[in-house]
Structure 1
Amino acid sequence: MSDPIRCLEFFSGIGGLHYALNIAEIPATVVCAFDVNMIANQVYEYNFGHAPSNKTIERLTPKDIEKFKADCWLLSPPCQPYTQGGNMKDIDDPRAQALVHLIDLLPKLDKPPTYLFLENVKNFEESQSRAKLVQMLDEMNYQVKECLLSPIQFGIPNHRLRYYMMARRRSSIDSSSVQQQETEQEESSVIQGEIHTKWPFTGEYQFEVPELCQFIENAANEDLQYRVPEKDIIKRHKFRFDIVRPSDNRTSCVTKAYGSHHLQTSGSLIQTQYLDVKHDWSDPKSLLELGLRFLSPKEISRLHAFPVPEYQLQSNDSCLTKPRLFNPPHCLPHLNFPDSVTLMQRYRLLGNSLNCWVVAELLRCELF
């Protein structure tokens, strides 16, 4: 049996990429994770049993990296440099410098990673950061695949459009045979990058999306701690909240502001009362009869396909490399939060995280 693929997990957060690796059932191990968020590191250690390094990524040297003998880099760098909320400063944003540093480290390594996986927000595909990374990977003879995909396309009732990059370094044998056969058009397509927007990339499947009721907890409907405060509803005149019912099969993207008074575009609200009442967007008081509540952290964890307790279904039987119909992951460890992590901190951590199932399927079917 070959040795497990040795992975480094950069910008690890609560471990979404690590969980995805487990869900994908790839023979791989995370030999070290890196993040400076102390609360996220606390959650990571609570679940995986070892704490990520909080050493600033910009200070890592080739020697620091090479000691791990890593075959794969997993990266989920900060998204703010590529969002309107973060002023879209791109490569000039200080929060982008850690990724830039890692790109600059790649050619300095005696043995660069064979595999690289990166996740970020939409707009990253148009960034200078992405251009710099793709140029470096092209110069180092990596084959690159890129896509913009949402969990909806994988059979999960949550819209969370994200950019993903998968890169695999060609061997010297591949270099001599493949590169000689590639046309100029094919070579330029690697640099310019075709962005796949269908899943699978061939578009030969279309997965049915289940109703939201399969992801939410009935008991939470009556739990007042998740109710949207009346004052936050009343003060938003004519604002059209994204209101969903358990019978719906779509929710909007949950952001790090979810659960707070920032209700605009932070995520869907669940309707818990079904009286024959017509609400009027120009009269926010009419919305109070709907019993609007936030998704709970556990429900968001389910929508983001983290393995969570008391949500275990029969696992999927499938070919190792063909796309699978979504089934709630059952692998260990489950995602749990220490009691010391507050409700708002949980929302923020989950809003900054990723969809584990989407990443797992891309790892299974495209990267490895």
Structure 2
Amino acid sequence: MKIARLSAILTLSILSSIGCRTMVVSTWVPSDTSQGFSTVRVLLSEATNEEKFKSSGTIEVLDANDLIIKKAYEFVSLDPTLLKAPVKITSNGDYLEYKGSRYRGIIEIKPTNGKVLIINIVNLEQYLMAVVPSEVPASWPMEALKAQAVCARTYVIREMLARKKQMYDVDTTTNTQVYLGMTKENQNTTRAVSDTQGLILLHNGAPIQSFFHSNSGGITEDPQNVWGNKVEYLKSVRSDYDKEGENYSWEEKISPAQITTSLSSLGLGEIQDIVVVNRFTTSRVNEIDIIGTKGSKRIKGTELRKLLGAVKLKSTRFGIRREDDGNFFVKGLGSGHGVGLSQWGSYAMAKENFNYREILNHYYKGIDFARMSQN
């Protein structure tokens, strides 16, 4: 039976789960079986005219035909800007070190459109072994770590499907998922990845957009209020467990000079006041008036957060006023965009003995669990 492009053909199978309990899950077979999902392409950086790579063994630089063009022990340096075609860097050691971080797999250097990209090609499950502890503390309860592992796996599969014609699938930052390499690996998070091996989340047969954030401040957000698109399985839900987490409640004091500098692109001169106009039902700011010496402008709360930065404005669930001393006082709840799984909510739910399936079903509605047929 054929369904939408990102859809899957589902066949029932039984997957053993926690303890002696079992759950029925699907097997996900992508509609385009020519695309493999065993490795992930992670953008590490854009190359400069001198890049250095280290390893615990012999390093080889290979051309497009896998012919050795350079060989060294433990250390190699090259100028990627001179390359006219891609090269691969491999090692018979346990890792390749680049800019102080150690990575599994191989590294590809690819010239493209006037740039040279440095990309780590790594096994999917090994990639997750580094991502999960890069996103949440490895000391967290196991069920929260498993929930994060399933989220992270689903997220990267969705990105791989969307970017299959591009040069890479994800980067190492919060733009996609944080990936800090082997040095972040921990036996607890490695177990969480292993115990959920191959598991992803589906909606109508397709991998979901498994967005997650640090702390919802008590209620998650509808993605339509953040990015303008409604997603059926990403509904706003209560997340009272967030109260135990970092940045559930926060305060900031921002000087007039900082505000004016951050909002200079609006062309309003010196900022005199900032006034919340209206909010969504989640209490997050929808629209806000910026008043300056050269005029005023109404912008979205999400735009203000981009301009001020996520460090100063941790979420759009905030209030702001100008104090008698001229500074702007900001008080808010939560950290991040608020869509999908709250990591600190997951942490507290796991402490209350919710398992990872219950946690994921709380934050994502109408989803199915599936095991990948290619892993």
TM-score, normalising length from structure 2?
0.29
* Bigger Rg, structure 1 or 2: 2
TM-score, normalising length from structure 1?
0.29
Question: If each structure's strand is expressed as a fraction of its own residues, which one has the higher value?
Answer: 2
Question: If each structure's helix is expressed as a fraction of its own residues, which one has the higher value?
Answer: 1
